[in-house]
């Protein structure tokens, strides 16, 4: 290549680079797969999203669950929706908690997993520069269900507990929840609930050998609407009326 062609090529490349949009700095610094609890030989993990800009001292827990699974597909959905960009750009520190999947845990066990994650967040509040009494929570669909199931049944902290995490309570300051299943006794009004698909959400070994009464009792236990205890923090429910998977009646 002669000198003039070389210069021309460099000018073309330079023009392309200058014309290309410059990617803005990410509004957060992410740490992946922090183990907040071990259960049944499984490490339960959370990710932290810490604002790179000014922090407001507040935190939001994002319950990662879709169809009661906490897997890459659900994470991809949350990333695509821009949840972490939106919150962190406004100064919120976000803790994305994976409560487990129904291939290993029932709904009640996932609720306890989520509570363990909440305690972990409060135990590390000083480290992240957040107020442990001003932690909000969000979740969509199954994540919304587990969020509400946890919210309506908070635990107090036990200063004498052997597990130091249980020194912390699971009370939360507010919640914003999207299209959550809340009533398993009347999932589809006027129609049968899809119990065959949700069997291991009720019991580890499914519905085999379970009586109708046992199933109904468990359905009530895992229904947030039937387990409200005392005063709740402010809750915003967001639900579309064209939702055919989780009817609007649940909100």
Residue 6 has a pLDDT of 44
Residue 186 has a pLDDT of 80
- List the structure tokens of 170: 């699971």
The CATH T-level fold of domain 26-250 is Rossmann fold (3.40.50)
Residue 190 has a pLDDT of 60
Residue 223 has a pLDDT of 92
CB neighbours of residue 240 within 10 Å = 11
Please tell me what DSSP assigns to residue 215. Answer: H
Q: How far apart are CA 111 and CA 146, in angstroms?
A: 6
Nearest to 205 by CA among 132, 103, 135, 78: 103
Domain spans in the chain, listed from the N-terminal domain onward? 26-250
Residue 22 has a pLDDT of 44
Residue 154 has a pLDDT of 95
Nearest to 27 by CA among 121, 124, 93, 95: 93
- Three-state DSSP class for residue 17: helix
Q: How far apart are CA 238 and CA 227, in angstroms?
A: 20
Mean pLDDT by 10 residues, the chain (251 residues): 41 40 75 95 95 97 93 85 94 98 95 98 98 96 95 95 95 93 76 76 90 91 89 89 67 58
Q: How far apart are CA 34 and CA 46, in angstroms?
A: 5
Residue 5 has a pLDDT of 44
Q: Indicate the pTM of the whole model.
A: 0.86
Q: Please identify which residue in the block is written with the tokens 């740490």.
A: 31
Beta bridge partners of residue 188, listed in sequence order: 191
Q: How far apart are CA 105 and CA 101, in angstroms?
A: 6
Distances (CA, A) of 178 to 77, 163, 218, 236, 239: 14, 33, 23, 8, 6
Residue 96 has a pLDDT of 97
Distances (CA, A) of 4 to 7, 17, 18, 41, 200: 5, 20, 21, 66, 71
For the chain, count helices (H), then strands (E).
Answer: 8, 7
């Amino acid at each position: 290549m002669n000198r003039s062609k070389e210069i021309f090529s460099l000018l073309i490349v330079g023009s392309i680079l200058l014309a290309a949009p410059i990617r803005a700095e990410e509004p957060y610094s992410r740490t992946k797969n922090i183990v907040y609890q071990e259960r049944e030989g499984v490490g339960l993990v959370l990710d932290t999203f810490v604002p790179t800009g000014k922090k407001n001292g507040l935190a939001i827990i994002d319950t990662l669950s879709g169809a009661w699974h906490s897997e890459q597909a659900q994470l991809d959905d949350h990333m695509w929706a821009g949840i972490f960009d939106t919150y962190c750009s406004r100064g919120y520190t976000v803790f994305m908690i994976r409560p487990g999947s129904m291939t290993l845990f029932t709904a009640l066990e996932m609720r306890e997993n989520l509570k363990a994650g909440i305690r972990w967040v409060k135990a590390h509040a000083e480290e992240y520069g957040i107020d442990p009494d001003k932690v909000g929570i969000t979740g969509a669909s199954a994540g919304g269900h587990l969020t509400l199931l946890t919210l309506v049944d908070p635990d107090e902290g036990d200063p004498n507990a052997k597990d130091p995490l249980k020194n912390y309570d699971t009370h939360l300051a507010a919640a914003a929840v999207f299209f959550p299943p809340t009533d398993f006794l009347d999932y589809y009004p006027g129609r049968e609930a899809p119990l065959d698909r949700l069997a291991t959400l009720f019991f580890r070994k499914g519905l085999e050998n379970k009586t109708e009464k046992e199933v109904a009792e468990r359905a009530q236990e895992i229904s947030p609407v039937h387990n409200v205890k005392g005063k709740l923090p402010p809750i915003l429910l967001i639900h579309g009326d064209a939702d055919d998977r989780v009817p609007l009646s649940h909100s």
